[in-house]
Structure 1
Amino acid sequence: MGPVTDDATTIMVVDDHPMWRDGVSRDLESAGFQVVATADSVAAAATRAQATQPQVVLMDMQLPDGNGADATARVLEVAPQANVLVLSASSERDDVLQAVKAGACGYLVKSASATELLDAVNATAQGQAVFTPGLAGLVLGEYRRMASEPTPVGAEPTPSLTPRELEVLRLVAKGLSAKQIGRRLDVSHRTVENHVQATLRKLQLSNRIELTRYAIEHELD
């Protein structure tokens, strides 16, 4: 058990592999975080998030009763202040995009080192977007797809990204860090992170609009 303090960041770990879940929990507590809950399914994640109100949720993508996108949506319904960081195998990146649309703050591959994991959890706890090159490329492609589709009559248009947001997204997709992008664009790394956050917010908004359109078209409203 590590040096957990009263103001330690509280975390829930969601994964259906006990050895991995327990190992990550130990690493987090050794680093001073407080693991307040673990869960092995979508249903358990929702129940325990409601009971413990964690600040950060580490979310596996493959669960026995659904995926990380389902679990992210359920967790944020009952613990809206939580910041969700998705942990995924690279082959699941399309699913990860859905988790981001459901409200996840970012994405980390499960092959990441312990240091990378702790850095990502720290960033997530502070409300920053953990935005890897793989996810940035996906978001860029999804945005282009949405922007190229005609907007149905009466529907809200897809929110547009600013030229700077698109530029930042392209540079993240190339593998540059926020500090490297900041130096290239002559802005602070915090400004770069703000652009990334704005991009995520806009895509989440567009997803809600798409859901609304679906409900109206299928008379579910």
Structure 2
Amino acid sequence: MTRLLLVDDQPMLRIGFRMVFETQPDIEVVGEAGDGERAVAMTRALSPDVVLMDVRMPVVDGIQATRRIVETGSAARVLVLTTFDLDEYVFAALRAGASGFLLKDVPPEDLLGGIRAVAAGDAVVAPRVTRRLLDAFAARLPGAAPDPDPRIGQLTDREREVLVEVAKGRSNAEIAGELMVSAATVKAHVGRILTKLELRDRVQIVVLAYETGVVRPGES
């Protein structure tokens, strides 16, 4: 059972989402919040598996709330909801620790699949989608200039190769073909990269790779 906290400042949207979730035997809505401050408090009190987080909200927005939830060490994973005109906010949310993002008008089956994927520890955003997002906005976003990170130095040469391929949006199978190793080996490398870099998922690998200049916008 996935315990879900629903966060959106529009009551009607929360009602609509809840109606979808209540039809699912493996998803339980444990609470609702109308602003980011309340979301942080309820995450602490209810320990949900997934927080479905709106971006633009009063009091505390979804980006600040995501950052606070992640910084507390909560096991809850944040799935951000956004619209096409909020891509800059999506980038900021990913940097804050969100495990991915979906559009508010996403089909119900994709929304449900995204929640289940995040609950299982995966990143919802397909790597290629994330790469296109960063390519489009990295050059003009605050804090997006290359910023050396000493953690990169902990990686072996092979792990660094895998990091670059992940950041370019390639799947484990594609990386395995490129490096002539098994997909299981790539998966193991990705796991070690996440541990060494203290990251939660592949989305954050992509973000860090762009922030540190390991991969630059437009590279493929």
Would the TM-score normalized by the shorter structure come out above 0.5? Answer: yes
Q: Which residue of 132, 135, 145 corresponds with 1:137?
A: 132
Contact 2:8 2:57 in 1 (8 A): yes
Match of 1:105 in 2: 99
Contact 1:50 1:79 in 2 (8 A): no
Match of 2:23 in 1: 30
Contact 1:68 1:96 in 2 (8 A): no
Contact 1:171 1:181 in 2 (8 A): no
C-alpha displacement at 1:48, in angstroms? 1.2
Match of 2:183 in 1: 187
Contact 1:61 1:95 in 2 (8 A): yes
Matched, 1:16 2:2: no
C-alpha displacement at 1:104, in angstroms? 0.8
Q: What's the CA shift string for 1:64-112, capped at 9, x where partnerless?
A: 1232211112233456110111111021111111111111111111121
Contact 2:66 2:98 in 1 (8 A): yes
Query: TM-score w.r.t. structure 2 length?
Result: 0.70
Matches within 5 A, 1:60-75: 60-75=54-69
Contact 2:164 2:209 in 1 (8 A): no
**Unmatched runs of 5 consecutive residues or more in structure 1:** 1-7, 173-177, 210-221
Match of 1:214 in 2: none
Q: 1:131 to 1:112 in 2, by over 3 A?
A: same
Q: What's the CA shift string for 1:123-154, capped at 9, x where partnerless?
A: 000110112344332346649x9796475xxx
Tell me which amino acid in the other structure corresponds to 2:23.
S
Q: Percent identity?
A: 27
Q: Alignment partner of 1:13: what SS? A: strand
Q: Alignment partner of 1:66: what SS? A: coil
Query: TM-score w.r.t. structure 1 length?
Result: 0.70
Number of residue pairs matched? 191
Match of 1:200 in 2: 204
Contact 1:58 1:84 in 2 (8 A): yes
**Unmatched runs of 5 consecutive residues or more in structure 2:** 154-158, 195-200, 213-220
| CA–CA separation in structure 2 for the residues paired with 1:179 and 1:157 | 25
Tell me which amino acid in the other structure corresponds to 1:127.
G
| CA–CA separation in structure 2 for the residues paired with 1:117 and 1:18 | 18
Match of 1:216 in 2: none
> Which has the higher relative contact order, 1 or 2, with Cα contacts under 8 A spaced 6 or more apart?
2
| CA–CA separation in structure 1 for the residues paired with 2:94 and 2:209 | 11
Matched, 1:84 2:78: yes
